[in-house]
Structure 1
Amino acid sequence: MKTNSRRDFLHKLAASAIAMPFFSSYTGFAQPGLLLPKQQNQVLRVALMGLGGYASRVAKAMQSCKRAKITGLISGTPAKLKEWGATYNIPERNRYNYENFDTIKDNPDIDAVYVITPNALHHEHAIRSARAGKHVICEKPMAINAAEGQEMVDACAKAGVKLLVGYRMHFEPNTLEVVRMRQAGELGQIMFFQGLSGFRIGDPNQWRLDKALAGGGALMDIGIYSINGARYMVGEEPVWVTAQETKTDTTKFKEGVDETIQFQLGFPSGAVASCLSTYNMNYLDRFFLNGTKGFAELQPATGYGPTKGRTNKGELSLPHVMHQTLQMDAMAGIILDNDVPTVSVDGQEGLKDLKIIDAIYRACATGTRQHIPA
């Protein structure tokens, strides 16, 4: 599909997502008899939605999974469906486009849909997947704001399916070692976190620089790593935020598309975080955590790996496995066996990040400290 026609197609999808009706809150239990784990032979069967660059990485990583496999494909590009179908041995009956994928409700070969489409489409695609009775794995950010995120959480609860978010770092061994040290008290009282997340973005015409599809700019794409990292590294939920936006290129970074944002978070214990999110600087992928008894540093902290780090006790050098392989095997356990991960990846986790993102944008717009709702 040509670039212009693809962008037109994505814009139409974005418009349909915005037009979707609101969902009321739902607090009931999962519907009995729906997607019983023991009926799935302990292998999670996944349909990938949105066959772009990141989906290619996920698909490659899943070839090494023991508990998850690709059994379906969803794309608006017929040539991709044909190519991917041949590559991953997906029969034509399990290949869908964005107009007909609701019929997956009648397909017993698919347990979950992994939504890897542009940010503004997550809301619609996740809700439609839930209505079809399929578990939902959604790339981050889960939605473009907390209101949409809440509707996704409610829709999945109403349908009796699980909603997980693609937080691959929650399963990375060196990251989890730092979390373990903090939880064990080895770092003492946590006082400070620094998160640096950024790179120089290329093609000015890509969807990530289109507010209608991305929902923002660097903060939605790369800055979310520092937002989420601050939470699991400090081990608390922030209660306030201040933020400042800097924009040097108004041609590439149009209204509503942030180039660089510095933000500061305050936690109930008194710990603070200082973070940077940017699309205009390379070599920014670092987490630093400081406590009264020690420190931990990860650099690179959130790239595709290998993750490297050190603490006051020495180097962190746990073996590297493709992050998405670890993620998908772990998510299979969460969905099929109700496993509880060390760091949550459920819809509520995604919603917490969205509330912080909303507050950061408010802080940039007003120049004042913003309260972060629980």
Structure 2
Amino acid sequence: METRRNFLQKLAASAIVLPMAPVTESWAADAISHEPYDGPVLRVAMMGLGSYANRVADAMKSCVKAKIVGVVSGTPEKITDWQDRFGIPGKNCYTYENFDSLKSNPDIDAVYITTPNSLHRPYAVRVAAAGKHVISEKPMAVNAADGQLMIDACKKAGVKLLVGYRLHFEARTLEVVRMRQAGEFGKIRFFQGLSGFRIGDPTQWRLNKQLAGGGSMMDIGVYSINGARYMLGEDPIWVTAQETKTDPVKFKAGIDETIQFQLGFPSGAVASCLSTYNMNNLDRFFLTGEKGFAEMVPSTGYGPLKGKTHKGELTSPHITHQTQQMEQFAGILLEGKSAPIPVDGEEGLKDLKIIDAIYEAVKTGEKVMLKL
């Protein structure tokens, strides 16, 4: 197991490559300034104890600023397992029926929601009403209307809403953003995002419209949408999209198999992207401008990510994405720190508005204008 000292040394090393860029100043300073660390610790309850919750929790073993202290689950066996693995007291264990009583528990600061997509909004609203910060896995909700309800609920309750955009803290990604901000690529002309894999078990919740809200676009396609925005440093103003479905048995009505979509930006740059549940080996971002380029392959996996630019290979050290994310979330929620690329509810809402527009473009065959 990685020691605390080794983790801090790696964290510091990854920050060294980014200090000159305004977008990275706050996260870099935060990453290298705590040895030994004796500041506030973010106490997190995980909601929905599936595979990704386990990945986050295991990554948090290396955190010094965040800790798993509670769980919310509908499966008693999972609760018992997590209690044994993470030393969680019984008073911090909840079901979906009784977690509103979090309000009277001062030992939990935030709840990280990793349930199926359609449950993000109703559970986030209840968590906010209980006075706890909300961390939602992406996509933040199944549509923009639900996303706005989450934002409104958190504002009303005076708590913060964050979205699990782990790549917004990833060092190689941030180096490309720094280079773009510094003008090293020149005027950006084009972005390509390819996001996809062949999905397995046809009975899983990701292929259930009521739980997932859609198909590949609501899962893997979000990466290309969000990546286009932070790589180009702009929000799109129009979208066009086309759907291809080769297996209507596995990918039933409302579950998109493959969608190609195009985004137009105020600067004149364009993006061409693909989201699919039926093709492997698709995890690539490519950015080109008048002076240079950047390519990341893989661009969004759990890592290590790999990439190169016209100046050479991207070599920043790899840190487990979820460890880095939760360390930075602690700084945001407890110390008022800023993220290098936004991770708040408004950021999540922009992606949801684009997803809504993509589905509309698929349905109508028309270009859909965006106002984000």
TM-score by length of 1: 0.89
Matched, 1:249 2:247: yes
Query: Residue 283 of structure 2: SS of its match in structure 1?
Result: strand
Instruction: Supply the AA of the counterpart residue of 1:347.
Output: G
TM-score by length of 2: 0.89
- Alpha-carbon distance between aligned partners in 2 of 1:326 and 1:174, rounded to the nearest angstrom: 13
- Alpha-carbon distance between aligned partners in 2 of 1:293 and 1:68, rounded to the nearest angstrom: 41
Query: Residue 63 of structure 1: SS of its match in structure 2?
Result: helix
Quote the residue 2:145 is aligned against.
Answer: 147
Query: Residue 275 of structure 1: SS of its match in structure 2?
Result: strand
Query: Residue 102 of structure 1: SS of its match in structure 2?
Result: helix
Which whole-Å deviations, capped at 9, do the CAs of 1:272-317 have from their partners, x for residues lacking one? 0000000000000000000111100110000000000000000001
- Candidates 78, 90, 93, aligned match of 1:92: 90
Q: What is the deviation of 1:373?
A: 2.2
Query: Residue 191 of structure 2: SS of its match in structure 1?
Result: strand
Determine if contact 2:39/2:65 at 8 Å carries over to the other structure: no
Query: Residue 285 of structure 2: SS of its match in structure 1?
Result: strand
- Alpha-carbon distance between aligned partners in 2 of 1:189 and 1:160, rounded to the nearest angstrom: 41
Instruction: Supply the AA of the counterpart residue of 1:276.
Output: L
- Candidates 71, 74, 77, aligned match of 2:75: 77
- Alpha-carbon distance between aligned partners in 1 of 2:287 and 2:125, rounded to the nearest angstrom: 37
- Candidates 246, 259, 262, aligned match of 1:261: 259
- Alpha-carbon distance between aligned partners in 2 of 1:199 and 1:180, rounded to the nearest angstrom: 29
- Alpha-carbon distance between aligned partners in 1 of 2:235 and 2:332, rounded to the nearest angstrom: 23
Quote the residue 1:196 is aligned against.
Answer: 194
Quote the residue 1:365 is aligned against.
Answer: 363
Which whole-Å deviations, capped at 9, do the CAs of 1:318-360 have from their partners, x for residues lacking one? 1111100000000000111111111000000000000000000
Query: Residue 219 of structure 2: SS of its match in structure 1?
Result: helix
Query: Residue 262 of structure 1: SS of its match in structure 2?
Result: strand
Matched, 1:310 2:345: no
Quote the residue 1:124 is aligned against.
Answer: 122
- Alpha-carbon distance between aligned partners in 2 of 1:239 and 1:103, rounded to the nearest angstrom: 43
- Alpha-carbon distance between aligned partners in 1 of 2:263 and 2:154, rounded to the nearest angstrom: 30
Q: Across the two proteins, how many residue pairs are aligned to each other?
A: 335
Instruction: Supply the AA of the counterpart residue of 2:234.
Output: E
Q: What is the deviation of 1:42?
A: 1.1
Quote the residue 2:294 is aligned against.
Answer: 296
Matched, 1:135 2:119: no
Quote the residue 1:337 is aligned against.
Answer: 335
- Alpha-carbon distance between aligned partners in 2 of 1:287 and 1:176, rounded to the nearest angstrom: 13
Quote the residue 1:3 is aligned against.
Answer: none
Which whole-Å deviations, capped at 9, do the CAs of 1:10-58 have from their partners, x for residues lacking one? xxxxxxxxxxxxxxxxxxxxxxxxxxxxxx9511000000000000100
Query: Residue 47 of structure 1: SS of its match in structure 2?
Result: strand
Instruction: Supply the AA of the counterpart residue of 1:129.
Output: V
Quote the residue 1:68 is aligned against.
Answer: 66
Quote the residue 2:179 is aligned against.
Answer: 181
Instruction: Supply the AA of the counterpart residue of 1:232.
Output: Y
Quote the residue 2:167 is aligned against.
Answer: 169
Q: What is the deviation of 1:251?
A: 0.5
Matched, 1:105 2:116: no
Q: What is the deviation of 1:61?
A: 0.2
Determine if contact 2:46/2:53 at 8 Å carries over to the other structure: yes
Matched, 1:58 2:56: yes
Determine if contact 2:60/2:67 at 8 Å carries over to the other structure: yes
- Alpha-carbon distance between aligned partners in 2 of 1:224 and 1:364, rounded to the nearest angstrom: 16
Determine if contact 2:69/2:108 at 8 Å carries over to the other structure: yes
Instruction: Supply the AA of the counterpart residue of 1:100.
Output: N
Matched, 1:158 2:156: yes
Which whole-Å deviations, capped at 9, do the CAs of 1:215-245 have from their partners, x for residues lacking one? 0000000000000000000000000000000
- Alpha-carbon distance between aligned partners in 1 of 2:326 and 2:315, rounded to the nearest angstrom: 22
Poorly superposed stretches of 4+, deviation over 6 Å:
none
- Alpha-carbon distance between aligned partners in 1 of 2:260 and 2:64, rounded to the nearest angstrom: 40
Instruction: Supply the AA of the counterpart residue of 1:203.
Output: D
Q: Which runs of 5+ in 1 are unaligned?
A: 1-39
Q: CA RMSD in A?
A: 0.8
Which whole-Å deviations, capped at 9, do the CAs of 1:94-143 have from their partners, x for residues lacking one? 00000000101111110000000000000011110000000000000000
